[in-house]
Each structure stands twice: as C-alpha cells, then as structure tokens.
A and B are shown apart, each in its own frame.
Chain A
Amino acid sequence: DAGVTQSPTHLIKTRGQQVTLRCSPKSGHDTVSWYQQALGQGPQFIFQYYEEEERQRGNFPDRFSGHQFPNYSSELNVNALLLGDSALYLCASRSIHRGEALHFGNGTRLTVT
C-alpha cells in the first residue's frame, strides 16, 4: 500500500518562473493539504483540498494556487517565483471521515535561483 507520493523530489527554477508540484494521496484518503517548510523551520500550512475545492487556506499570497482532481490527487502551483519560495514542499493526506492523522510525503525540494 503506497503512502503519499510526491513528484518531483527536487527542482531548480529561476526567479519569475512558474512551478507545478504533484501529489498522490495514500490509498483511501480523500483530502490533501500542502505545507511549505523553510530550512530549520516547522512546516507552514498553505491550503487544504477536499471534493476538488479549496477548503482552508493559510497566510500565503495568491501566487500559490492548487487543484484537486477526481482521483483525489493534487497539484500545487506557484507563479512568479521569488527567492524566498525556496523550501521543502510537503503534501499530506487523510480520510476526512475515518482518520485523524495526516500522512505526509517526503516532499519536493524547490530551489529558486
């Protein structure tokens, strides 16, 4: 039973570019959350998707957007990349009705130069 999978594992982009990160939730999970983790810091909540809609959002600008597909997988898009967007981006999933725990993937390391 595969856990949460994220792709790619590493990515290098240039300031001003756009990036798309992908996440497949754990089997049986229907809600996906995205987190940003800067070096040496705890993860910061970006947003959460359920039933293909954004349900909660953290304190992130509109440059950060997302999508959830009918198969529950999700994408995180970041436009107009800034140097400060360099971080580990984590995806987490859970079952909205069955489980309390979030299951995290190992993240995508984004470097903006």
Chain B
Amino acid sequence: DAKTTQPNSMESNEEEPVHLPCNHSTISGTDYIHWYRQLPSQGPEYVIHGLTSNVNNRMASLAIAEDRKSSTLILHRATLRDAAVYYCILRVFVNAGGTSYGKLTFGQGTILTVHP
C-alpha cells in the first residue's frame, strides 16, 4: 500500500485557517486521497476526498498538488470542535468480480490542537 507522511502535531487558534499537509510520493494513478478525522472518544469521521482536482465541501477544502505527490487539507476557520486527529489516507481498490472494494490504511495522523 502506498504510504502517507503527516506531521505528528499542529496547533491553531480559533477562527484562523488551518493547513494540514500530507506527503504521498508513491501514490499510484488510481489512488484517491481521503481525509478522515477522529474526535476524542469517537470513531473516525469522513472529511473529504479527491483524485486530481481540488475539492470543497461544507467541512473543508482539499488542495492536491499537480504531481499528486502531496495534498493539503484546509479548514477555513478552525473551531474548538475541530480539535481531533486528522488522517490522510490513500484509498486502495481491489477489484473482485467487477465490484471494487477498498480498505483504509491509517497512519499515525496529525493531532490538531485548537486554542481559544
């Protein structure tokens, strides 16, 4: 499985933008870049995903480098509720009988601390 590299921790102030980087230099052409986050005492929560183009949703934006070897998750205005572990994951697809399956390979993630 292609691996990702993230900083162990980052800090931000409330209401400021946060840029969470991820390196994935061995990404293959069919790997999607997924971001999940895990709040304390909860299961992981989907944030956003993309393949080549930048993506926006109500939670965040995903900026993907042109060579796809890195990406950045952008939280436009951090809140205290955004304090979590953020995981950057390459989604590996295994085709079986024409139906694609996927497992998520989690790394250590980035612990985001948001200061009031």
Contact = CB atoms under 8 A, between A and B. Distances in A.
A50 B99 contact: yes
A92 interface: yes
A33 to B, nearest CB: 7
Contacts of A4: 43
A56 B36 CA distance: 21
B114 to A, nearest CB: 20
B103 A106 contact: no
Nearest to A53: B96
* Band of interface residues on B: 20 to 34
B45 A55 contact: no
Contacts of A33: 103-104
B95 to A, nearest CB: 11
Interface string B93-116: 010100111011111110000000
B49 interface: yes
Interface stretch (A13-21, A67-75, A76-84, A95-103): A95-103
Interface in B48-102: 49, 85, 87, 91, 94, 96, 99-101
Interface centre among A4, A35, A43, A92 (most CB of B within 10 A): A43
A44 B43 contact: no
B46 A102 contact: yes
B43 A42 contact: no
Contact of B106 (A44, A103, A107): A44
Contacts of A55: 96, 101
Given A56-B94, A100-B91, 4 more contacts: A4-B43, A33-B104, A56-B103, A58-B103
6 closest residue pairs by CB, A with B: A42-B106, A104-B43, A101-B46, A45-B103, A43-B106, A104-B44
Interface of A: 4, 31, 33, 35, 41-45, 48, 50, 55-56, 58, 90, 92, 96-97, 100-107
